[in-house]
Structure 1
């Protein structure tokens, strides 16, 4: 434990750069600090003119050199700070009166923490009222796509010094870059689950980079983070201002197996009758750019012969038929398909799916080059285009799909627009490395119908793997939107007997 972390009542230095703040904005910020229930803080107001008149010795004024940039002013404040932790606050923004108390409590519980971030009050879209942004626990993939931990970010002074402060080259995105670099080197990152930060006038605060220039600097900061981490990927502007996409490069060709359990059923989709598995395989083969691909069809014995013949006819070299004899057991069928496959990467795919994104398989498997990524999953849509899957949500011993049936404009604080860590992924479309699937023992066959993907997800997380939901990888999933999920109490009891009780979901606490 460092000396700073041993302090039971750490002093927090808040840095406020006046810049072009509106009249009275700074006063509002200082008033919120003066109202703190704890006195363990100081504020450094950095400006080019006279600082605020204050009798409080904890309020110090610093004067920037004429023509100094905002980044230079931030670094001036950082150098002058005497606290063991520092935080940047925009003039006009305010802190709830228990902010310092909450931060101190978090540090008391986690004395080795050197980066903390809180929830906040924000305005989303065109709404004129503020809403509490209940943030996920530490989610590094989401941070690349959305700087959700920007406010309130509290960083140990030693960590801030170690990373060298704020960098001029990123201009408006310098705070975003600072957070990315700090979290890369932090020993422990802690989420303070209280909305202790409020933006002036209910403005948007999810990012400082929503204008075109700042957005581009934000993209550059994400690209720099990818390069530092050795991730071969391109950062691109995201679908919402201030968000970013991470397009990982395919890399060297890999042998991929797609395992599809089926019994060759038919149904009506988009007004036409189809054999589901035929169209699922056709869509994958038509779009695939993978050189070494096999499609393993695990079929019940009563699957119609013409369907099997048609499947082989789609690609005699790629399609392999594996018969399955026995009562329905989705877990066992997937395990049988896995054992019959040869790929370094295995994709499990339901037969009632159809690829939407042309390079979906490439993009789905690309993160699996990173050793700590255990499984990836896609954005699945119902026939009408509404959302069927955006990751699992495990909350209060309930197991659901997060954002089920949401429309595209239901943004969930950006959660539907960026890649992110999730608690679990549906086996309707997931990808894993072969050795990872073997490491956790595959699907648990004691859950033949429901919750087998929940169990697999929990096994992967229990040994330290991250599960990534890929927002830009899309499939249609023709599961009936109106069909209520049916499961027995016995299945729930089996699952809960294997795992401890579930409280607050770490990645999707509120939907």
Structure 2
């Protein structure tokens, strides 16, 4: 047999395996994705911008749609001004005047600027357009005072925040009005954004996830364009003195405590100006803003039912919220295992024994029990090696079914919190249980996951995306120190699903959700569990501060079994449609071929 014919046979076998795993519909999607990936060209952001320009035809269609709307909300664009370069201020104002959607007012508060060109320019626009209101403050009070002065001028249904050197996209208010017509309950709306230089060149886009509370507690990711129901902003007292530089962050932290009607428009509707005086000019441009953000987060914790504190994150402008562990609950670590011995870089090793030893030796949180579920196949020497007062053994004589064995282990568990753990794991960070418990104890949280590495240091798991019905690990196989998209690999972040290789959940919630679906004996039982939690209104979160090595598939053969993909998609097809066939923690502008957050 020639090498060429051998490769041909291997390809046919792979195609046959894909058909068995996915069924006919899934196999056709698999072929489409593979072909799309082969011929896909990575595009640059300037190319993307050129493909997504707002055209004359778009404008005509938008104007026709506006005429048919039942609701035409008035937007009050809040614009605090202080000693800005005249050309940037003019461009900011013109970006509002050029809006496709006409029902707006521009509320400008000059904070006692000393530049002689600013007052005449503002008076000119005030006379030029009756929708432009201006107030001149007698004394300089900084951005909070100026923003509140502008807010006093507002008569609109919603306020939109604009910095004095930035620009709104031409369709910014139109897209917000469109969403409000679809969702009149909207209280807080945010969009994607990018940066723009002095020559009008756009760069550094931020394609954001839908509302992600734990990511928001890590950084002020919603930022621009932020649109808020005016009555709600006034109800909470507007912008608070003492939070200059992070007044928007503090505002949103208080807004989201009053409403769950939060919407995200996955479109670039705001352009930050890259100039030396802007926060976009570098990490250390405005250190007082980062300190103000820390105070705002500290206040948020004080208002919450979960006491804690704020720690610095991996870079300026990023934070880690810590929570005190309440009532020191017993954690039941449930490990299905056959006591497999595998070859590693360190030689032959019993994975289960090594896993349990790393738990016992490295874990700082001591209130745990270990529940090992086996099929009467763990060798006696290994049972003797792992025996201890913290370990109990549960037997199952049925053929291996991961979901079934997890369910049996949870049923036998005595803890209020369960941790599902593969036997091919090794603990790296001593406070891994505390880091996960901080989230699992919160009643709004469903599944909690950890950051897992392959034995070669590459990333195995920092969260699971479900794109087009295909679950995939974000940043799988990239370098372990890769920061991720806008530092998402280094801070707490919400995901739709989490691997059961290391998954924590309150035991009562696990049982409330019906446990793991035993119709998924090997794969997707964890995705199914997380989807059940998300559908029930809980949020799932991954913390990179809990870290373990995952010797993945060392204890069993990798790959899907027949119909597993098809069964998952049949079960969740209707729910996927309610999510718009998009993972809410990804972004539809990013590539669905690989979970690498690329265009």
Q: TM > 0.5 between the two?
A: yes
Given candidates 358, 383, 388, the residue that maps to 1:283 is: 358
Q: 1:235 to 1:14 in 2, by over 3 A?
A: same
Q: Secondary structure of the residue that 1:171 maps to in structure 2? A: coil
Query: In the alignment, is residue 193 of structure 1 matched against residue 266 of structure 2?
Result: yes
Structure 1 window deviating more from structure 2 (277-286 vs 105-114): it is 277-286
**How many Å apart are 1:292 and its aligned residue?**
3.2
Task: Tell me the residue number matched to 2:586.
Answer: 508
Distance 2:168 2:137 in 1: 25
Given candidates 417, 420, 442, the residue that maps to 2:515 is: 442
Given candidates 266, 273, 290, the residue that maps to 1:215 is: 290
Task: Tell me the residue number matched to 1:356.
Answer: 428
Distance 1:130 1:199 in 2: 10
Please give the residue correspondences for 1:359-370 in structure 2 after superposition, counting only pairs within 5 Å: 359-370=431-442
Distance 2:296 2:557 in 1: 44
**How many Å apart are 1:368 and its aligned residue?**
2.2
Given candidates 139, 164, 168, the residue that maps to 1:95 is: 168
Task: Tell me the residue number matched to 2:85.
Answer: 22
Are 1:38 and 1:100, in contact at CA under 8 Å, matched by a contact in 2?
yes
Distance 1:304 1:441 in 2: 32
Task: Tell me the residue number matched to 2:47.
Answer: none
String of CA shifts for 1:152-185, please: whole Å, max 9, x gaps: 1101110110010111122211121011111211
Given candidates 413, 416, 421, the residue that maps to 1:344 is: 416
String of CA shifts for 1:323-371, please: whole Å, max 9, x gaps: 2322221111111111221111110111111111111012212222221
Distance 2:558 2:382 in 1: 28
Distance 2:281 2:444 in 1: 27
Distance 1:29 1:208 in 2: 24
Given candidates 284, 288, 304, the residue that maps to 1:229 is: 304
Are 1:112 and 1:187, in contact at CA under 8 Å, matched by a contact in 2?
no
String of CA shifts for 1:389-409, please: whole Å, max 9, x gaps: 111101111111122223323
**How many Å apart are 1:67 and its aligned residue?**
2.8
Are 1:148 and 1:206, in contact at CA under 8 Å, matched by a contact in 2?
no
Distance 1:506 1:378 in 2: 20
**How many Å apart are 1:239 and its aligned residue?**
0.4
Distance 1:93 1:208 in 2: 18
Are 2:75 and 2:159, in contact at CA under 8 Å, matched by a contact in 1?
yes
Query: In the alignment, is residue 490 of structure 1 matched against residue 568 of structure 2?
Result: no
Are 1:353 and 1:475, in contact at CA under 8 Å, matched by a contact in 2?
yes
**How many Å apart are 1:187 and its aligned residue?**
4.9
String of CA shifts for 1:391-438, please: whole Å, max 9, x gaps: 110111111112222332342022222212210110000111111111
Are 1:15 and 1:45, in contact at CA under 8 Å, matched by a contact in 2?
yes
Task: Tell me the residue number matched to 2:547.
Answer: 474
Given candidates 37, 59, 75, the residue that maps to 2:100 is: 37
TM-score for both structures, normalised by structure 2 = 0.79
String of CA shifts for 1:113-160, please: whole Å, max 9, x gaps: 11111111149xxxx961332211111111111111121110111011
Q: Secondary structure of the residue that 2:244 maps to in structure 1? A: helix
Are 1:444 and 1:455, in contact at CA under 8 Å, matched by a contact in 2?
yes
Distance 1:166 1:484 in 2: 57
Please give the residue correspondences for 1:286-301 in structure 2 after superposition, counting only pairs within 5 Å: 286-301=361-376
Are 1:210 and 1:241, in contact at CA under 8 Å, matched by a contact in 2?
no
Task: Tell me the residue number matched to 2:461.
Answer: 389
Distance 1:333 1:195 in 2: 47
Distance 1:449 1:83 in 2: 55
Are 1:11 and 1:83, in contact at CA under 8 Å, matched by a contact in 2?
yes
TM-score for both structures, normalised by structure 1 = 0.92
Are 1:422 and 1:507, in contact at CA under 8 Å, matched by a contact in 2?
yes
Task: Tell me the residue number matched to 2:470.
Answer: 398
Given candidates 449, 465, 487, the residue that maps to 1:377 is: 449
Q: 1:267 to 1:488 in 2, by over 3 A?
A: closer
Query: In the alignment, is residue 70 of structure 1 matched against residue 148 of structure 2?
Result: no
Are 2:107 and 2:154, in contact at CA under 8 Å, matched by a contact in 1?
yes
Structure 1 window deviating more from structure 2 (207-216 vs 168-177): it is 207-216
Select the structure of larger CA radius of gyration: 2
String of CA shifts for 1:185-207, please: whole Å, max 9, x gaps: 12511111211111113977699
Task: Tell me the residue number matched to 1:173.
Answer: 246
Q: Secondary structure of the residue that 1:498 maps to in structure 2? A: helix
Given candidates 333, 337, 356, the residue that maps to 2:405 is: 333
**How many Å apart are 1:219 and its aligned residue?**
1.2
Q: Secondary structure of the residue that 2:96 maps to in structure 1? A: helix
Q: Secondary structure of the residue that 1:25 maps to in structure 2? A: helix
Distance 1:210 1:385 in 2: 34
Are 2:195 and 2:274, in contact at CA under 8 Å, matched by a contact in 1?
no
Task: Tell me the residue number matched to 2:328.
Answer: 253
Q: 1:277 to 1:151 in 2, by over 3 A?
A: same
Distance 2:393 2:241 in 1: 59
Query: Quick check: which one's helix share is greater?
Result: 2
Query: In the alignment, is residue 426 of structure 1 matched against residue 499 of structure 2?
Result: yes
The unaligned stretches of length 5 or more in structure 2 are 1-68, 114-118, 591-596
The unaligned stretches of length 5 or more in structure 1 are 1-5
Distance 2:351 2:286 in 1: 45
Q: 1:207 to 1:255 in 2, by over 3 A?
A: farther
Distance 2:249 2:513 in 1: 36
Are 1:254 and 1:290, in contact at CA under 8 Å, matched by a contact in 2?
no
Distance 2:403 2:108 in 1: 60
Query: In the alignment, is residue 262 of structure 1 matched against residue 314 of structure 2?
Result: no
Given candidates 466, 484, 495, the residue that maps to 1:411 is: 484
Please give the residue correspondences for 1:137-176 in structure 2 after superposition, counting only pairs within 5 Å: 137-176=210-249
Q: Report how many aligned residue pairs link the two structures.
A: 498
